Each structure stands twice: as structure tokens, then as C-alpha cells.
Amino acid sequence: MKPDIHPAYRLVVFKDAASDFQFLTRSTVRTKEKVTWEDGNEYPLVTLEISSASHPFFTGKQKLVDTAGRIERFRRRYGLPDES
């Protein structure tokens, strides 16, 4: 392998913001945040919006999203006619 062209492959903690679920794995992702893990060592922290702990497919719970309200706000903002 050529030196100095590969990203650092190290242990990183990923945290699900929705469920506070955390897991430790290896990754090349870059981050400025750090967290102390259960073993007492400090690792880089990556915050995720969704993981298997909060995804509806894995949890069996469906979140309702107000898409109708979002579409109406978009149409009002840009002066588009209602398609109903």
C-alpha cells in the first residue's frame, strides 16, 4: 500500500440521537466530537439521525409525518395553486 493516501481506520462510537442507542465499531469517518465509552477510553463520536434502534422497519413502530401540512406550506410560500 502507498503510504499517506489511506484514511485513518479506527474505533468510533456511533450514537442514535432519537433513541440514545450507541455502538462501537471501526470506521474511517472524520469527526471533531469525542465521547468516553464504557471501557473508560475516549473515542470519536458520530451522531446519527436514525439507526436500527429507531428505524420503523426494525422497531415495528411507524412515525406519522405531516406531509400534507408541509406541502400546503410549500404551496403558500411559493404562491402555487392548490391541486385539489
The pLDDT tens digits of the residues spanning 37-56 come to: 999 999 999 998 777 677 65
Q: Locate cell 484514511: which residue?
A: 7
Q: Could you state, in order of their start, the residue ranges of all structural domains in the chain?
A: 10-78
Residue reference for cell 471501557: 39
Round the average pLDDT of the chain to a whole number and report it: 82
The pLDDT > 70 percentage for the chain reads: 77
The answer to whether 35 and 47 are in contact (CB under 8 A) is: no
